[in-house]
Structure 1
């Protein structure tokens, strides 16, 4: 029997949480003026990516193992990467492809070819729109832009509403969310309005642990970040997405910026503290002013995907089961240094505290412990050799249901003997 009524995810939320890894792509007028936040006055003439290849972006994402791709269709400067009819501040009035180009379409089509989800970032804050100072007029303007994006580019996996620059501004969120639900009912809504997924609270790619999937209030956004807001007994399922740029503190490409590229070890630390804490990781890799992902960024992110596969593609053993005592018996004594546990979240988060033990010379020894498991919890520990491990649930909201309880071994280098 449940201790309290458990929040449970929708089908769409469960499918989104299974994606686990997404690529963010910040690209726009900022790419050509060496700025993170331009003010909406940069001339459209500077936008001219002579070698733009959205297929290169998306194929790279696919090779890494990203399951979805999000493009900044409009950032805070108001420049639109599609030929909108709402403003002249868009690709329609540039010399790129003689004004007939559409970056959003090229990215959407590339995602369909590679069979990964496509999403859009559409900043509510617009520093170019003359009507922004008139809330009612701007709401009409923004709604028209959204309708274009929601109806012309196929199914969307996510619509990303950034709150930056909008502190204190009241948009017509009821209208905005109704448009998303009308035209893209399966899309996740990030952060503002009536979000179905939430911001993790930082731009470091880290979900603080424990990272519960449930929220205390319907007013969930980057502006309601109480540390007590995310609790296991609260009524709404709103899982976390962690966003981080691969170049430290820089979302857009900047010249001579290679020194800021995160190392492989830094990226792996982000992975353990995002996906490994049950959240989804959205890693930004920005195209340069050619319209291509820089070679060094591509190399680094491919290394990242390869290392994730090396560590987690071949479990030493796994089991699915229900109950507060789950045992996994390996075929023979083997080395392990990771345990990956997943709840069957269709039934809610049921585990509130747990311990993992390994058999050592006839005795059970604790190797890990924690509270939240949710979609996924990755526990790391010094390598041990054992034939059996077990999960002991110390506190629960209802009978635990595990989708998977698996042991892994990842040597420091591939040349080390795994046995």
Structure 2
């Protein structure tokens, strides 16, 4: 463990100066956009939930379940790849570590792994080799929440963050090019691990340093507005959790996921319970999602032998007969760089013009996009500000709100207000402003025109590394 952490620190120290993240170098935002387009052009892939929960008959097993139960004696990743090809899929994504912390690769960070199970083979290696041999792209899934190693809310230490970085370093160093990394268990209401507890920007930069072409997807990005990429390169929607993309208004590169069975991990009733209807999967999801710049990843859970059940194989083959991959999708609309830095305005002291108590200014920077500060309808010149209590540096402001059509943004320094955005005419739901770094103790928006009762769900201020 100490050896890999030392290697990680030395690698990061040398690589950080040489490799900047996607949008910081000339033409690099175009490069990110090209990667996003390539992702959408893949159209359809296989999610593979296969880990120690497979042997527990539930998605959330005992975090101290013994590695002895993990023993897929007939595991055949070539069968998985062939099944994906039969459906017209172009990639696969394997759960390298789920929420209970069991690692199915040859990790040096913990004994809670496949190498200490009866199977004793690197499943990630077998998966990546098999899918590449069948000309399929390789994605990996990784959970930040880890109940076995106590990487849980309120208990996260610097050593935990170091272990996360060491594990990601192994996955992104030892298994060839990874097209995308899907991260879960982070900044979600049920995981309660914030992007401050495990710093998103540090993890994102590590991934991009190790593999600059690897897209980063946080499955919990549906918390954030549908109009902006915040803490992700690809907007994601989990249909089973009620997260639905707007097929009419979406303008971002997106991903929607759903299991073909009733749950993500294999259950004892899967072989005898009908899968979801292939006709519905094609006509109601795959085709309309692709037409809305949304890739569809369908989960197929291998059983305890390490094989996909026959009814799931039949469903995939039926999908392949009903749907043909027509190649690249329409061009994604031009976009801006994702926001990945900490929000320094979150839960800071806020002030505003008159509002009713149930819509008070505290709701405008509470890290909850479902609550808002709302100006009282009688106010003719509404305003909202965040007070840091001391001078802070910042270079980005993101305002998520309603009915604001013209505005100004200013910051307070040396006893006076200085314009940041002298006139904003952006009437969209999310307004992203990037500018040269400024220093100030307060930031405010002055709302000059509005077409309804103005409100702010979140007033974000960021000090991006650029």
Contact 2:33 2:335 in 1 (8 A): no
Contact 2:290 2:329 in 1 (8 A): no
1:345 deviation in Å?
A: 3.3
1:59 deviation in Å?
A: 1.6
Please state if 1:33 is matched with 2:56.
yes
Unaligned runs of 5+ in 2: 1-28, 222-229, 337-466
Secondary structure, counterpart of 1:289 in structure 2: coil
Give 1:19-418 correspondences, 5 Å limit: 19-96=42-119, 99=120, 101-130=121-150, 133-163=155-185, 165-169=190-194, 170-191=197-218, 194-200=231-237, 202-203=239-240, 207-214=245-252, 239-248=253-262, 250-257=263-270, 258-268=272-282, 269-309=284-324, 343-345=330-332
- Listed one character per residue, the Cα deviations across residues 240-263 of structure 1 (whole Å, up to 9, x for unaligned) are 100000013x00111123325101
The 3 A distance-change label for structure 1 pair 259 and 281 is: same
- Partner Cα separation in structure 2 for residue 152 and residue 78 of structure 1: 20
Q: Which has the higher contact order (CA 8 A, sep 6+)?
A: 1
- Partner Cα separation in structure 1 for residue 243 and residue 285 of structure 2: 6
- Partner Cα separation in structure 2 for residue 46 and residue 168 of structure 1: 29
Contact 1:135 1:171 in 2 (8 A): no
- Indicate the residue corresponding to 1:416 in structure 2: none
TM-score (normalised: structure 1): 0.64
Secondary structure, counterpart of 1:13 in structure 2: helix
1:81 deviation in Å?
A: 0.6
1:274 deviation in Å?
A: 1.9
Contact 2:250 2:292 in 1 (8 A): no
Secondary structure, counterpart of 1:88 in structure 2: coil
How many residues are aligned here?
288
- Partner Cα separation in structure 1 for residue 243 and residue 92 of structure 2: 16
Contact 1:47 1:94 in 2 (8 A): yes
Secondary structure, counterpart of 1:270 in structure 2: helix
Contact 1:205 1:281 in 2 (8 A): no
Contact 1:125 1:166 in 2 (8 A): yes
- Partner Cα separation in structure 1 for residue 238 and residue 300 of structure 2: 20
Secondary structure, counterpart of 1:296 in structure 2: helix
